[in-house]
Amino acid sequence: MNKKDDLMRRSSGEKIGSKADLLKNSFILFFLLFQTLSFSQVPINGFCFRNDYTIPKGYNQIISADLNLNGRSELILYSPAQKHIGVLSGMPEDTVFNDLETKFEIFQLKHLKNKTSSNNLFAVVERKQRKISVVNIYVDSISGKLAEISFDSYPENIVTGDIDLNGIEEILVYGSGFDGLSLLYRAEDGIGERKIVTGTSFSEAVFIDLNDDGYPDVAAFDILDNSLRFFLNNTKGVFRATRTIPYSEKIKSLESYDLNNDGFAEIIYAINNQLEILYGDYQSAFNQKKVLKLGDKPVSLLIGDFNGDKYPGIIYLVSNGILNVTIGKNGLEFFEPIHLLKETSLLAFTRFKSESKNHIACLTQEGELILFSSGYFNGQDQNIFFAIEANTVKKFDFENDGIPDIAVVDKYDNLLKLILNNSAAVPTKYYSIPLAEDHSEILIDEFFSFRKIFYCYSKGAPLLEVFRYNFRTDKLNRKQLYAPGELLDVAFQRIDSSFVNIFVLYEKNAKMYLGKFENRDVSITFKEYPFIDRNVIAAELFITDEPVVYYWKSENDKLEFNSAVIKSGPHEFKTHLIVPKTSETQVDLYGADFYDNEYPSVVSVVQSESEEYLIVVTAGSVDISKQIREFSGNNKLKFGRAFFGEISIKGIINFTVNSSNDNYIYKLIYRQIDKAFSLKQIIKAENVSDYFFARLDKKNYFLVYSNNKEGCISIKSLKK
């Protein structure tokens, strides 16, 4: 669009005016909030891609290990209820699954590092038999037991670490039904045990270097007195108790990790509805504590550098089935969490490596394996994880560089989410802005290259939220404007860099009105035009030389498709089509994001039991066809969202619309033989909430849509 022209924008959507007096002027400010805030960008750096696989059901635990020492971890799945394991190799592209039978129960499985050249040794907890054994696991086979040890109490959990730095990892055993802490040593003649403490039980334990001597010590949570107890290693594998930290509640998911890269490991755990971090220091005092408050109780967590910036982040699952990631900011602070997945049947998740990057693998009860990874746009069908319940998704162009960026309103957490892509169409930065209400529409003012204005609203509600975001300074200016009635449509007209007219079409007492917010940087005034029409069911607004409204109204036993040119004096009305109104009549009305003199700007579809109409408005000219589809069909189509824009490199602005009952997106075509418009199927896409088309690899166009079943944004190639 030419910048010297007034920018005329409005929203794609649905929903529907008569006499006029003089324009009413009002200098009342219809806004609730006017403020400037600082917001941070989250450097996701490509950690956003999701891949889904189907595997046999029955597994409920998952770990990873690089069995072939080729830099790509295998995933190992198991369950205490069945005597076999699954091994997935070649992740995430060339996946091969092997199901391997065992002759023993696997309650818990942990990888054991060895100083030998192989990477196949594992420790197995056989809780019911009160045993721990050692086996070899390969991509396509599992050995019998190499050694085992029995106990008088029930082992539940193990952690591994090289306590004497001889290249052979030892095993620390604990559990709520196990007596104390046991350290297991491996030797050629079997497994030996040394007790660290007896007479109590521990629900959590980790190896951690407490005194900075390079040797692993132990931190463990004593469930009998609710205390975190520290045990120092004398460098020879003999541990002594040193101090305790008391708690009023039990902690879960105890981990140790150097989050701030200062050489001292932190202690991380979940307690109640929060995560707590005790920062390590040279005295192991752990006096500095960071609390991350969560909305729900955390169930489990893991830590790693997922976005490749050297600052570890935390992946955590909360009790309502939401898996989240909070990216580390500087080792001491964390960015706002991002939802990865909503899945109530999520059983377990683990970190795995591929091409030196950390990825996440999730296992569900239904036999789904879901991978979250850093990656690149490969020109094929892909998913990214930014929206769980997206109401609307739109593209915009930060820096006006031709690379499409994404704006999403996520109904689940009521956030406006902005994703910036690099030149390879890989998401690199993420922003989230809280909304006052759940909105279903976004308009975007792209007059500036580095500063974008987002208008968020819902049809049928009075609130219009305006967000002006400066991506260079990370400054957000927000305003909340209230229309005098329920919104039908919104459009804007930019006058200059500091002055925008925001037009609101709304319904008040069953009458349709047009209002205008004159929005300057430092002030807002409101004007209301005279009453337009009544009984409007859907309307689309455009700002040309004067405001123009295309709308449907219900009048007794008929429906009228009208247009109105809004003036300060009497409005100019025209009726384009009248159809009978029955209980089966279905009307859909769509308008483009900007008025275009060359391509269609308004499309409406009418379907009833006896007739159908396709109405196309181009530069004020109205064409009416009596056939909706290229080939006639008996069933009515249930249309959803629409998109006006390019879908091919030819530069033509096309109209497309999604149909949910046959899961196709239809394109508006002109049939030369019949001299009429119709709709033609162009791409199949299931579970579409909202969508757009964009050229992501500079030569091919892709469908980008909010996938309301999988809870993600899906990308699908238009290439056949």
Strand partners, 357: 354
Are 144 and 243 part of one and the same domain? yes
Q: Is the pLDDT of residue 14 over 90?
A: no
Q: Between 699 and 373, where is the model more confident?
A: 373
State yes or no: pLDDT of 15 exceeds 90. Answer: no
pLDDT at 54 over 90: yes
Tell me the pLDDT tens digit for each residue of 426-479: 999 999 999 999 999 999 999 999 999 999 999 999 999 999 999 999 999 999
Is the confidence at residue 10, as pLDDT, over 70?
no
C-alpha distances out from residue 631 to 237, 652, 681, Å: 79, 23, 10
- How many Å apart are CA 338 and CA 12, to the nearest integer? 28
pLDDT: which is higher, 26 or 415: 415
Residue 697's pLDDT band (cuts 50, 70, 90): confident
Do 186 and 124 share a structural domain? yes
Instruction: Kindly report, residue by residue over 98-137, the tens digit of the pLDDT.
Output: 999 999 999 999 999 887 778 999 999 999 999 999 999 9
Write out pLDDT tens, residues 315-347. 999 998 999 999 999 888 999 999 999 999 999
Distance CA 112, CA 120 (A): 8
Classify burial at 707, counting beta carbons within 10 Å of its beta carbon; exposed 0-12, middle 13-18, buried 19 or more. buried
- Tell which of 248, 264, 288 closes a domain: 248
Answer with the one of 342, 369, 398 that is the final residue of a domain: 342
| pLDDT cut 90: percent of the chain above it | 81
Q: What is the pLDDT of residue 6?
A: 34
CA 333-338-342 angle, 5° bins: 140
Residue 158's domain is classified under what CATH number? 2.130.10.10
Write phi, then psi, for 399 (nearest 5 degrees).
65, 5
Position 391, amino acid: N
Average pLDDT, the chain: 91
279 lies in some domain: yes
The confidence score (pLDDT) of residue 36 equals 65
In this structure, is residue 296 part of a structural domain?
A: yes
Range of the domain at 160: 102-248
Q: Domain check: are 128 and 227 in the same one? A: yes
Q: Is the pLDDT of residue 8 over 50?
A: no
What pLDDT shows up at residue 332?
87
Residues 176 and 193 in one domain: yes
Is 167 a domain residue? yes
> Hey, what long-range contacts does 359-365 have (CB within 8 A, 24 or more apart)?
359/91, 359/92, 359/306, 360/306, 360/315, 361/62, 361/64, 361/75, 361/91, 362/323, 363/59, 363/60, 363/61, 363/62, 363/77, 365/57, 365/60
Q: Which two tokens stand for residue 660?
A: 């949910």
| Residues 354-398 pLDDT 10s | 888 899 999 999 999 999 999 888 888 999 999 999 989 999 999
Q: How many domains does the chain have?
A: 2
pLDDT of residue 86: 96
In the predicted model, what is the mean pLDDT of residues 493-506? Answer: 96
- Are residue 235 and residue 273 in the same domain, yes or no? no
Instruction: Give the pLDDT mean for 162-191.
Output: 94
271 lies in some domain: yes
282 and 222 part of one domain: no
Considering the domain architecture, whether residues 193 and 280 belong to the same structural domain is answered as no
Does a structural domain hold residue 500?
no
Question: pLDDT class for 175, splitting at 50, 70, 90?
Answer: very high
**Is 150 part of a structural domain of the chain?**
yes
Domain boundary residue, one of 196, 213, 248: 248
Residues 258 and 200 in one domain: no
- 263, 244: one domain: no
* pLDDT of 392: 96
Inter-residue long-range contacts of 112-115, CB under 8 Å, 24+ positions, other chains counted: 112/160, 112/169, 112/171, 112/186, 113/160, 113/162, 113/169, 114/167, 114/168, 114/169, 115/166, 115/167, 115/168
Which pLDDT does position 275 carry in this prediction?
Answer: 97
| 535-556 average pLDDT score | 96
Q: Are residues 119 and 229 in the same domain?
A: yes
| In the predicted structure, residue 9 carries a pLDDT above the cut 60 | no
According to DSSP, the β-strands at 586-591 and 463-470 are unpaired
Structure-model confidence comparison of residues 12 and 293, the more confident one: 293
* Contact criterion met (CB below 8 Å) for 564 and 551: yes
Half-sphere exposure of 154 (CA within 13 A, CB side): 8
Alpha-carbon span 309 to 672, nearest angstrom: 56
The predicted structure's pLDDT at residue 38: 62
In a domain, 388, yes or no: no
- 313 part of a folded domain: yes
Instruction: Grade residue 209 by pLDDT with cuts at 50, 70 and 90.
Output: very high
Same domain, 142 and 242: yes
Specify the pLDDT at position 35: 64
Per-residue model confidence as pLDDT tens digits over 272-319: 999 999 999 988 899 999 999 998 999 999 999 999 999 999 999 999
The answer to whether residues 241 and 287 belong to one domain is no
Residue 633 pLDDT class (50, 70, 90 cuts)? low
Mean pLDDT to the nearest integer, 217-235: 97
